[in-house]
Amino acid sequence: MKLSSIHVQNFRTLEDVTVRFTGFYTAISGQNNAGKTTLLRAIRQTFRDNSREIYYYRRREEVAYRDDRTQWAKKTEDIVFDYVVSVSPTEDPGLFQFIEKFNEEKLPDHDASLRIQVIHRFNEETVCTCWVNDNEFSTYASKEVLQKLKSSNLAFMHDSAHAVAPIYGGGGRHLHEMTFTAAELKEISQELARVQTKIKKISKTHKTELSALLGHLEDKYEVDFSIPEGLFTGSIPFAVNLRDKNVDIPLNDWGSGTKNRTQIMMSILHATRIRSRPDENKITPIILIEEPESFLHPSAQAEFGRVLIDLANELKIQTIVTTHSPYMLCQSNAQSNVLLGRKTSYGKTKSTEVIEVKDDNWMEPFGNILGLNNIEFSPWKEVLFSAKQCVLLVEGDIDRSYFEYISSLDFSDLKLPVGLEIVPYEGKDALKNSILLKFIIDKFKKVLVTFDLDAKTELERTMTQVGLAEGTGYLAVGSNKPGKQCIEGLLPERILSKVYSANTDLVMALTSAENKDRRSAKSSLKQKLLTEFKADKSISREELKPFLPVFKALSQLAPSEV
């Protein structure tokens, strides 16, 4: 099952909001109180996980009109939940066959569109209407479909703020759950029969002693011991240990970040087992996660974000997360990210709205919300918003142009790796903040930082602090000669001579007493050198040998690693 869209009216801050879900992964972002959690609650009004009801103390799920109606809406306004879900005959046969029974004709053998509209009225009356492929069901059929959805296990919720589910074992130890297939349950049932026999044999003394005690009563009873029926009904509580350096440690004794990630993975495992088992009654659930980045260091956030996105797409299990982390956003598909905000009226915060974003600059509003647009972050904006996981960081656009152009020439050892993105930052000063630089590079699986050779002395210590090694993590670019300690210093001598001799005024301006004049002259010469380099069609591989160290360092970013 896959949620395609949800339209909510008059539920808490969701006065009139429509959210569409694209792909198998969706990240919902926004400031605190923007309505992210409320949106997940709206989903869970109909799509729930009832499998753990026997163990969990559950929060109130049903709508209470007086408490949940949007405060500034009219007191008689309906609360409306309108869902559209895609139901697959192969992934969700249990639901597909169920709705087919109520349809006037057999459904086509492909995904069906199921729309469910649930209306809660001020008099506490609930009205439900369902449509399948635009065919409206009767009131009776609609109620049956709604009951089927609410009673099934369709949305595994993980709230990182309450990361440990309240299932307690001996000594208050937190327990988790393991689910079983029909075949596995059959095996367990056979083993239980053997255990029952063993219990009866071992408990003879207990049985005799209890019978003797009960014999003091006027009523006489026969005593027997057995494992309660129904204890294993598809899942059982169990404890989790993790092994690190050959030491087993209970999951509760690990750090919060490790516990949180492990429990999220357990929910994904649970959903995967349901999806993959050959069961005509199965319905593939969706996974809802509140703030998966909780308790994680930025580098771990970056890794976990990549893993969640990859797993959602690989396993074809819809995963919806709420987040305050740029690492949890889907860079490869802008439409997979939803940004929520709050409207204001006369200085008062009112209803939630979906903020429209543009494909060509989709990250900009997310950056504003996530606080990535301050002065320190501004040089790194393009880096932060990069969709790739493997990057070459260069000082500016001109450096990028050199590498891209050289790679376009027909020289096998001067090629950029497939899938690599070249992303400019704005000058060497952006590299001096080691804390921010570490935050940036942790975003990527592999990264090579380049800068001009004349800045090496200034930046070597910072590179070491963030864990980058020379030649593999960073590289100073240029020729170790006066005036050539930059990327232009690697150009063929005839290119330099031609440009400098034709622009003597700019060359002289490089020695100006005014900083502004020097910067302007340097910028103009850099652009002219690039233009002349690209215009020269006689460039040979021999003349490009000074660029080989950079391309050799980039070779570590092989296609299989990207």
Residue 193 vs residue 276, higher pLDDT: 276
Alpha carbon distance 75, 86 (integer Å): 34
Alpha carbon distance 338, 351 (integer Å): 16
Within the chain, all domains assigned CATH 3.40.50.300 are found at 2-163+283-354
> What pTM, to 2 d.p., does this model score?
0.70
Percent of the chain with pLDDT over 90: 51
pLDDT of residue 73: 83
Alpha carbon distance 345, 411 (integer Å): 62
pLDDT beyond 90 at 190:
no
Residue 93 vs residue 242, higher pLDDT: 93
CATH class, domain 378-492+539-561, is: alpha beta
Within the chain, all domains assigned CATH 3.40.1360 are found at 378-492+539-561
Alpha carbon distance 173, 166 (integer Å): 10
Token pair belonging to 68: 């949940």
CATH architecture of 2-163+283-354: 3-Layer(aba) Sandwich (3.40)
pLDDT (tens digit per residue) in 449-464: 999 999 999 999 999 9
Instruction: Calculate the CA 511 to chain-centre distance.
Output: 52
pLDDT beyond 80 at 379:
no
pLDDT (tens digit per residue) in 488-510: 999 999 999 999 999 999 999 99
3-state secondary structure labels for all residues of 381-417? HHHHCCCCCEEEEECCHHHHHHHHHHHHCCCCCCCCC
Alpha carbon distance 380, 362 (integer Å): 16
Q: What's the mean per-residue pLDDT of the chain?
A: 85
DSSP letters spanning 356-380: P--GGGTHHHHHHHHT--STTTGGG
Average pLDDT over residues 294-312: 86
CA distances from 341 to 36, 39, 357 (A): 9, 12, 12
**Residue 379, by phi and psi: left (phi above 0), alpha (psi -120 to 50) or beta?**
alpha
pLDDT of residue 8: 97
Torsional sign, CA 453, 457, 463, 468: positive
Phi/psi at 234 (5° precision): 130, -25
pLDDT (tens digit per residue) in 3-43: 999 999 999 999 999 999 999 999 999 999 999 999 999 99
pLDDT of residue 385: 67
- Under a CB-based contact definition with an 8 Å cutoff, are residues 133 and 112 in contact? yes
Alpha carbon distance 80, 383 (integer Å): 41
